[in-house]
Structure 1
Amino acid sequence: MSQPPLPSKPPNIQAELAKERNRAAAERTLMAWIRTSLSLIGFGFGIDSVVSAIFSFQAVQNLDRVRLTRLLGLAFIGLGIYALVTAAIEHRQELLKIQRNADYFYKSRRSLGLTVAIGLICIGAIAFVGILWKAIT
């Protein structure tokens, strides 16, 4: 049996360890986004379930409030799904960058955390205005 050909130059151990640290950091980041997304999705289901249960026990149901809370719950679920899908795509892109043999340079990109924060601000503002509107009218 012939032995496989040896690489022309030995691998740089420091560079390989740095790639492994970057890969591990990308895994931790993805896991953090998975936890955040599951919390948002769970919160959305919780809002819908609790409010639906409360209004199902009352003789007179206020359909507008149920609809508002259902939309609020769906907004949290949608934001959680968006964060999860975007985090998975960014994670895959990061792994592909690490695996390339080209130099690994920092490249500025849109912050997923800032995007989710803006989404939460929008959902909170809409919920606030909706609740305020119901209290005034």
Structure 2
Amino acid sequence: MTPPQPKRPTGATNELAKERNRAAAERTLASWIGNCLALIGFGMVFDQIYTELTVPFPMGLALSAGNIQALSLLFIGTGLLLLVLALAQHRLAVQGLEREEYVRLPINAMNRIVVAAVVLFGLISLVEILLL
């Protein structure tokens, strides 16, 4: 006969730790939202900046309007993708906190996806800028 497993301690200390973890998850999500909105906003004004620069410097810019629009859409798409990933990661963290016996859910795969998306976006932007 196996001995019963001891119950995990529950009390004010554990509940306060859960609240701190929830607050940390909310702050992380707020930070991600700010960064994603900055990417989306930059993507929206990038085309307008290019248009305004072509008036005083018509021959000085080597980028075509189509490439600028593609780069703008890349910024907007990356911002939206990272926002979706941040929301999914936040939901996983909150689900882990809502469990009766708090066990942190593994989100390493989600972190790898987010990092891979940022690196891929950076490489595509670098290649696009260098080739144009």
Is TM > 0.5 for Structure 1 vs Structure 2? yes
Matches within 5 A, 1:1-137: 11-55=10-54, 65-105=64-104, 107-110=106-109, 111=111, 113-131=114-132
Distance 1:82 1:108, change over 3 A: closer
**Matching residue's letter, 1:89:** A
Compared with structure 1, are the counterparts of its residues 67 and 14 closer, same or farther at alpha carbon in structure 2 (3 Å cutoff)? same
Instruction: Give CA-to-partner distance per residue, 1:44-93, whole Å, 9 cap, x none.
Output: 11211111333467889x9x711111101110110000011111121122
Tell me the CA shift for residue 28 of structure 1: 0.4
Give TM-score scaled by structure 1 length.
Answer: 0.74
Q: Provide the alpha-carbon RMSD of the alignment.
A: 2.6
Q: 2:5 matched to which residue of 1?
A: none
Q: Which runs of 5+ in 1 are unaligned?
A: 1-9, 132-137
Q: Indicate conservation of the 8 Å contact 1:33/1:84, yes or no.
A: yes
Output the CA distance in 1 between the equivalents of 2:34 and 2:101. 32
**Matched residue type, 2:116:** T
Residue segments in structure 2 that go unaligned for 5+ positions in a row:
1-8
Moved over 6 A (4+): 56-60
Cα deviation for residue 117 of structure 1 reads 2.8
Count of aligned pairs: 120
